Structure 1
Amino acid sequence: MCTVSYLPGQNGFILTSSRDEKLTRPVAKLSEPILIHGQEVTFPSDPQGNGTWIASSNARTVCLLNGAFTAHTPAPPYRHSRGLVVLNAFDYFTVQSFIANYDFGGLEPFTLLLVEKETLVVLRWNGRQLFVVEKDPAVPHIWSSATLYEPEMIVKREKWFSEWLDSLKEISLDGIREFHKRAGEDDPENAIRMRRGDVFATVSLTSVIRSGTQMEMIYEDLIHSETIHKTLSRHYVSN
């Protein structure tokens, strides 16, 4: 359950994910890169589902939000955790091949963002049908998890994002991370950095930054005030 923003930049982009999760869920840790089909893939590892909500190589970035278009009633058992889909996406040579050939059956609804070679694809699985939309990678975007936020609140959060963009002199990493920490703070249950009692909260903030031939991931544990930076191997950069 997340909020994700995408900002285009000179020769790249910044993708930032606020992870909203139960406070009782085990703490995720940023992994050492693992090799998947010849790509070094870096991600925060979720010890409960053995997957992740965001992962990147230097050629592809994949990010997950729980739910498709609207909140759903969970109906387990599911084939496996949605967090494994993020890593499975790196098994395919192209995003198009992943979409055409991956078996989405038996999985809980989710939204998947895939960024590769100046392409931004939004994939939504509602438990029965797959919906695929290609977005303009030259335009900023924001998404909110349908499982935590009602449609009217999603629209309100999009307005916060639009107002923040209008106030900018220039786009920056520090600026978007500050937006994810401060926007909507007068409404803590629905703020970008949210908290709902002792049950749900925004537990981490992860950014993937691409600039030219360099890709970096920044993972910040908001509960334990720990930040880790990793520069992804240039060997796998796709120019």
Structure 2
Amino acid sequence: MCTVSYLPFQDGFILTSSRDEKLTRPPAKLSDPVLYHDQEITFPRDPLGQGSWIATSKTRTVCLLNGAFTAHNPKPPYRHSRGLVVLHAFDYFTIHHFASEYDFGGLEPFTLLLIEDGQLLTLRWTGDQLFKTEKDASRPRIWSSATLYTPEIITRRELWFSQWLHSASGQCLEGIRAFHKTAGEADPENAVCMRRGNQFATVSLTSVVRSDEQTEMIYEDLIRSELTFRKLNQTYVSN
């Protein structure tokens, strides 16, 4: 599942995740802030695995994509849901402590993006080996799940993103969310907002907006047309 874009700006960033999922999966809901080791985090909670694919505090943002480098054949049972790894990342003092100390054994392959203190860390777990890469946090980026998209399609999506970056729409929250909803729409099975018959579709769109002043999460259920916001201790819902 998932297509994730990262847009840095002078004092922060926008991270946006399109969640691709089975249409039969129960819908997630954006949580009220939860206290983890003296820090509040918020995230859309998956009712099946009880984890999430994206979570944020005031200082740390974690985002998950299924698969590592290439598509894999699932070999259950696994130790627990990959979505719990997102929440477990907040148990550690820094993202680097998490990367070096967490036990990834027995988990299905995934890619994890971790942002903290101007650092962007990418972890890819193949099921046997962990690959850790520090990225330049000053550059925009896009990632696509290896389980749903071939290398050719991933490259095509990177081109769409590059073209959008050079377009007149501007690198803002409204612009990047519009990109996630419309890019590649001529190819619905591989568009950023995708649909494959009655089985898979992009079911939600989540953005984390962080600046020196505040952190906000915007969660949009695309199936039910509901927007939910979390900004520090302030919450509201718009239908």
TM-score, scaled relative to structure 1: 0.96
Q: What value does the CA root-mean-square deviation take over the aligned residues?
A: 1.0
**Alignment map for 1:183-198 (pairs within 5 Å):** 183-198=183-198
What is the CA-CA distance between 1:229 and the residue it aligns to?
A: 1.0
Give, in whole Å, the separation in 1 of the partners of 2:34 and 2:11.
26
Give, in whole Å, the separation in 2 of the partners of 1:88 and 1:233.
22
What is the CA-CA distance between 1:23 and the residue it aligns to?
A: 0.1
Output the amino acid matched with 2:131.
Answer: F
Output the amino acid matched with 2:22.
Answer: K
Give, in whole Å, the separation in 1 of the partners of 2:232 and 2:196.
35
Note if contact 2:181-2:192 (Cα within 8 Å) is conserved in structure 1: yes
Give, in whole Å, the separation in 2 of the partners of 1:161 and 1:16.
13
Equivalences, count = 234
**Alignment map for 1:65-144 (pairs within 5 Å):** 65-144=65-144
Q: Which residue of 1 aligns with 2:217?
A: 217
User: What secondary structure, in the 3-state scheme, does the structure 2 residue paired with 1:88 have?
Assistant: helix
Output the amino acid matched with 2:191.
Answer: A
TM-score, scaled relative to structure 2: 0.96
Give aligned-pair identity as a percent. 70
Q: Which residue of 2 aligns with 1:229?
A: 229
5+ residue gaps, structure 2, are 235-239
Give, in whole Å, the separation in 2 of the partners of 1:83 and 1:217.
18
Output the amino acid matched with 1:223.
Answer: I
Give, in whole Å, the separation in 1 of the partners of 2:33 and 2:233.
9
1:72-110 Cα shifts (integer Å, max 9, x gaps):
000000000000000000000101100110000000000
Give, in whole Å, the separation in 1 of the partners of 2:112 and 2:168.
28
Note if contact 2:169-2:175 (Cα within 8 Å) is conserved in structure 1: no
Q: Which residue of 2 aligns with 1:42?
A: 42
Output the amino acid matched with 2:107.
Answer: L
Give, in whole Å, the separation in 1 of the partners of 2:4 and 2:129.
23
Note if contact 2:33-2:233 (Cα within 8 Å) is conserved in structure 1: no
5+ residue gaps, structure 1, are 235-239
What is the CA-CA distance between 1:170 and the residue it aligns to?
A: 3.1
What is the CA-CA distance between 1:142 and the residue it aligns to?
A: 0.1
Give, in whole Å, the separation in 1 of the partners of 2:30 and 2:210.
18
Identify if the C-alpha distance between structure 1 residues 169 and 226 changes in structure 2 by more than 3 Å, giving closer, same or farther: closer
User: What secondary structure, in the 3-state scheme, does the structure 2 residue paired with 1:219 have?
Assistant: strand
Does residue 51 of structure 2 align to residue 51 of structure 1? yes
Q: Which residue of 2 aligns with 1:156?
A: 156
Note if contact 1:217-1:232 (Cα within 8 Å) is conserved in structure 2: no
Give, in whole Å, the separation in 1 of the partners of 2:74 and 2:166.
38
Note if contact 1:58-1:233 (Cα within 8 Å) is conserved in structure 2: no
